[in-house]
A and B are shown apart, each in its own frame.
Chain A
């Protein structure tokens, strides 16, 4: 019962602190997702384009970001971008003192970049798996490339890429735990603080693990529903 009291809400327990951390975790993931998707789609577009430079850049981008540890990417963004920003500010106005780069912004940027590099590969795969005739039909109807992308390619890419993107979304959720290292008060760090105060590491880390696990299982369920819905027009027998 003692353990339950520690996890309860209110002034005695750590439940509300953990819940606040969970909100930050979810906020990070939900903000990084659209940014990552947009960048990822852009990079995927480059990798299927006819421009040799575009393709080379896309390969470089995805290889680099998928080859680096997420933690290292996070540190490079947090410290590197912070230093760069400070140099820029100093150059514009020498009187301003050192400005701390927001760990929240660094977290979102790093998570979005990592997500985009993996998403680019998934989306490229979906893009290339599509029948060429679809695009040709669009051209025959004298649609321009944006119309073709939006009305013909996009809906099919979503269907083909959803299983892969779903996995990436779950990875993104799990990767948010890394931002606790740069002192951002997410779920993981809330647990760290609670452990520091109560000296009950197993209890808190286990509860945090269970929360992440629950969210992941929930997401898997929702993604499964979405996949079934998106595939409703496709015959199940295949």
Chain B
């Protein structure tokens, strides 16, 4: 076991870095895209709502690996066109395709999470803001979005973990992420321990991430972390009523 670690650790560490890079990049880009989309999704107008619903439904209803193949191999079918547009250099690189696919996929899930959070914002908070004469952008910046993100925060953390795990399929299109390096090392050594080491690395990344996310969550909800003051039970409640 230790032998495997010392021999293959540098490769696996390289892979882990790429996994981290791909995950963080696609999740954060998806977060930027998810906000306007979720705002569109909660509008009354069908023309704003339906396209977003269609995108979300597609990305949530098809396997990530199929989306990845569609983009990476499928773009090859349009090679002359893409070359003309000067985009072929982008689509030729599997890492770019993986990041683009994961961004779109994560965007769909994050939009749905944010939609739920936006709709769960207490109507009275919005009304209070309106009563103070807040214009729309101020209302969203200071009332709706902080409340929505606070609600959505745990679910968004789950989404990052899902992306971290789902990202392993990038190895199928020859991206040398943690999974890709693991598969390469296994095909050279036929040592099953490599998989176990990779499993441990994925778990460690996930656990570290979850701990950091919890800290952030506690920071966001710090206004609720007051001590509970225990009062003496009111004994003559029936008399009061």
Write the residues of chain A forming the contact surface with B, with a CB cutoff of 8 angstroms. 64, 67-72, 75-76, 79-80, 83, 170, 174-178, 180-181, 188, 191-192, 195, 199-203, 205-206, 208-209, 212-213, 216-217
Contact = CB atoms under 8 A, between A and B. Distances in A.
Contacts of B192: 76, 79-80, 83
Contact of A206 (B70, B76, B169): B70
B56 to A, nearest CB: 12
Given A72-B198, A206-B74, A217-B57, A67 B66 contact: no
Contacts of B65: 177-178, 180-181, 188
B61 interface: yes
B73 A212 contact: no
Contact of A72 (B67, B73, B74, B195): B195
Given A64-B203, A67-B206, A202-B74, A75 B66 contact: no
B195 A177 contact: no
A212 B62 contact: yes
A203 B196 CA distance: 38
Contacts of A64: 203
A76 B66 contact: no
B186 interface: yes
Contacts of A195: 73
Contacts, number: 112
Q: What interface size band does chain B fall in?
A: 35 or more
B204 to A, nearest CB: 9
A209 B202 contact: no
B66 A70 contact: no
Contact of B199 (A72, A181, A209): A72
B13 to A, nearest CB: 17
17 contacts: A64-B203, A67-B207, A68-B165, A69-B164, A69-B166, A69-B168, A72-B182, A76-B196, A76-B199, A188-B63, A195-B73, A201-B70, A208-B66, A209-B62, A212-B62, A216-B61, A216-B62
B78 interface: yes
Nearest to A219: B61
B172 A181 contact: yes
Nearest to A75: B195
B45 interface: no
Q: Closest 4 interchain pairs by CB?
A: A69-B168, A177-B63, A202-B74, A216-B61
Contacts of B61: 170, 174, 212-213, 216-217
Nearest to A203: B77
Nearest to B58: A213
A68 B199 contact: yes
Interface in B125-144: none
A229 B62 CA distance: 27
A206 B186 CA distance: 32
A181 B66 CA distance: 12
